[in-house]
Amino acid sequence: MKDIDGILDEAGLTNPHVREYVKEWAEITQPERIEVVNAADDDRLLAESVEEGEILPVKGGLYYSRSYWKDTARSEERTVVATSDPKEKGVYNNWRDAQETVDVQIKRMTGASKGKTMYVLPYLMSPVGNPLEKYAVGVELTDSRTVVHHMIRMARVGVEYVNNLKEPDHFVRAVHVTGDLENLGQGTDDDQRLFATVADRRTILHFGSSYGGNALLGKIAHGLRQACYDGWDSKEFLAEQFMLIGITDKETGRRYHICGGFPSASGKTNLAMMLPPDALGDRYQVDFYGDDIAWLWVNPEDGKLYGMNPEFGAFGVAKDTNEVTNPTAMESIAPGTKVLFTNVAYNEKTQEVWWEGLTPEPPADVDGWIDWKGNRIADRPVENQRSGAKEDAWAHPNSRFTTTLANVPNVAEDFERPEGVPIDAIIFGGRARDREPLIRALRSIPEGVYDGLTLGAEATFAAEGKEGVLRYDPMSMRPFMAYPEGEYAAHWLRIIGAAKETPIFAHVNWFQRDEDGRYIWPGYRDNLRALLWLMDLKEGRAEGQETPVGILPRQEELNLEGMDIAQEDLDQLLYIDEKKWLAEMERREEHLEQFDGLPEEIWEAHRDVLKKFEEN
């Protein structure tokens, strides 16, 4: 290998601390080559990957990749947060000792990149000039060129983000080593994979994957876990798995910004990419800021809560994405966008891609199609080629598309605004069949934080045998929590409580069903109607109706223009079932009791809801 200093000099990487970090890990992982990457290298690297068969071309200037079949999703049980203080162990953060974890990872990573290229990716997880920029700088070292393609789409990449730091040593050190994927014992007692965020050292060490959040270290590991810890440690900000949208009333000129957390499969991406329903399109505009992460802080100059999406792209789930469910997403992956698909079905002859839900049925002609494991559909028994059965899926259910924010057709014009945007509302949305109303606004910061801590989605009867019971996912951060939950709640109260203008909190549920299993709210574009009511309530144009669990809309306060909905459905959408809610309150108490040091304000909010039921 050439002299490392010469390589870094040629690349224009001047930060001495970054250079030392690169040398240190090159000695450990022992790559054959080192290459410093800037965003401008994307086209060249794509051409190299296609030429070597690492990725495949999709017609229209798009690309397709396939990960190892045992490496297709995040692995929560193999993901840890390590620090030097055992008191930072929480219920969900899979706490480990920092030094022990570093030692284990160094042992696994030693020599593991032999024969490969170490790609050096200096990156920024924020708009340039953002108040939290110092926490957003990182340098990922990876031995996977496919990871480089994803990172260029998901983060701002280039040496300019590290060369002139005010604190040259203040950047996240993120090391990704793929490992021998076929011999890592995935899912066995001898599983060698480990994805560690050593939070108090601002170091990320991931070994044993080349997929998604396991490998794109700027995204989940930095953008959520490390940032979550940094925000708490600095007492400056919150880093949450939140979507962020803007809503403009073109009649009044008023603009609102709403962020919020949703557990998996609860409609977060579809809401983030929502367009107004046709009947409201002339008056309202909805802008996309982000579908997965938001950092929140109080601006000391005006005292308002601000937010921004630290990501530069979207890593969307392909399954069930189509022109009806999410036309915005479909436009963001259109020809010319250079989107990278992962683990969808691919046609080697026509260079097309397909996934379940893109069209009602798979392509009629199976010639040339290969599934997410790389097997030819035509080689299957005829009855398994287009059966629609789960076991015969063409694409993996967690198949993805990676595209830049600039490709999203309704991306906000100011998504790169350094100051971020003022937050008017924070919403939480679970998935509940019949207990949660369409929307309920919350009366105070403690009640809002309490609601977020008890957020969840119902388990399915088939999967869990507990229909109607939530799998709790506090603030939708269960897999990403970096420090104890009691401290987490206190930090939320501190940050939001410091704002002079408090955003309104609310809980939404798009998934109520009737006795026949039919969804009684159409969802998708019509979800805007509930959010417009929330803004009306916040600004005094609506009063709502008080219930023990929050303020619900009066039916006449909802803007239902152009919507055909039965009266009995509307009644059900705004109904509180006291019996089911009291049963839920018992489960909430049990859930919260597992968190040490939970602030008394949270318990007061819990007791206040119970008291209101007693008085009701």
In the chain, where the domains are located? 4-52+75-222, 239-311+424-615, 315-404
| Residue 71 falls in which region: left (phi positive, over 0), alpha (psi -120 to 50) or beta | beta
Q: Which helix (H) or strand (E) holds 62?
A: strand 62-65
**471 DSSP β-pair partners:** 457
202 is in an annotated binding site: no
Residue 451 phi/psi, 5-degree rounding, is -65, -40
267 falls in which pLDDT band (50, 70, 90)? Answer: confident
225 is in an annotated binding site: no
616 has pLDDT over 90 = no
265 falls in which pLDDT band (50, 70, 90)? Answer: confident
Q: What is the DSSP letter of 455?
A: -
> Which pLDDT score, from 0 to 100, does residue 467 have?
55
> Which pLDDT score, from 0 to 100, does residue 461 have?
36
CATH (residue range 239-311+424-615): 3.90.228.20
Q: Among 28-32, 429-433, 603-607, which is the least confidently predicted range?
A: 429-433
The count of other CB atoms within 10 Å of the CB of residue 4 is: 15
The residue annotated as part of the active site, out of 266, 332, 387, 476, is 266
Higher pLDDT: 60 or 77? It is 60
Averaged pLDDT, 155-171: 97
524 is in an annotated binding site: yes
Averaged pLDDT, 433-452: 97
CA torsion, ordered 433, 438, 443, 447, to nearest 10 deg: 30
269 is in an annotated binding site: yes
pLDDT digits (tens, 9 = 90+) for 139-157: 999 999 999 999 999 999 9
CA torsion, ordered 261, 263, 267, 269, to nearest 10 deg: 60
pLDDT digits (tens, 9 = 90+) for 295-317: 999 999 999 999 999 999 999 99
Q: Among 69-78, 248-257, 436-445, which is the least confidently predicted range?
A: 69-78
612 is in an annotated binding site: no
Residue of 499, 502, 527 lying closest to 512 (CA atoms): 527
Residue of 182, 185, 116 lying closest to 148 (CA atoms): 116
490 has pLDDT over 70 = yes
426 falls in which pLDDT band (50, 70, 90)? Answer: very high
Averaged pLDDT, 543-564: 97
User: What value does the mean pLDDT of the chain take?
Assistant: 96
209 is in an annotated binding site: no
Q: Write out the DSSP string of 156-187.
A: EESGGGTTT-SSTT-SEEEEEE---GGGS-TT
465 has pLDDT over 50 = no
Q: Which superfamily does CATH assign the domain made up of 315-404 to?
A: Phosphoenolpyruvate Carboxykinase, domain 2 (2.170.8.10)
Fold annotation for 4-52+75-222: Phosphoenolpyruvate Carboxykinase; domain 1 (3.40.449)
265 is in an annotated binding site: yes
Percentage of the chain exceeding pLDDT 90 = 94
Q: Among 243-257, 370-384, 462-476, 569-583, which is the least confidently predicted range?
A: 462-476
Q: Residue 77: CA atoms inside 13 Å, Cβ hemisphere, count?
A: 6
Distance CA 354, CA 38 (A): 31
Distance CA 158, CA 137 (A): 11
> Which pLDDT score, from 0 to 100, does residue 464 have?
37
462 has pLDDT over 80 = no
> Which pLDDT score, from 0 to 100, does residue 209 have?
96
Residues in the chain: 616
pLDDT digits (tens, 9 = 90+) for 81-122: 999 999 999 999 999 999 999 999 999 999 999 999 999 999
Q: Is position 266 annotated as part of the catalytic site?
A: yes
> Which pLDDT score, from 0 to 100, does residue 469 have?
77
Averaged pLDDT, 513-538: 96
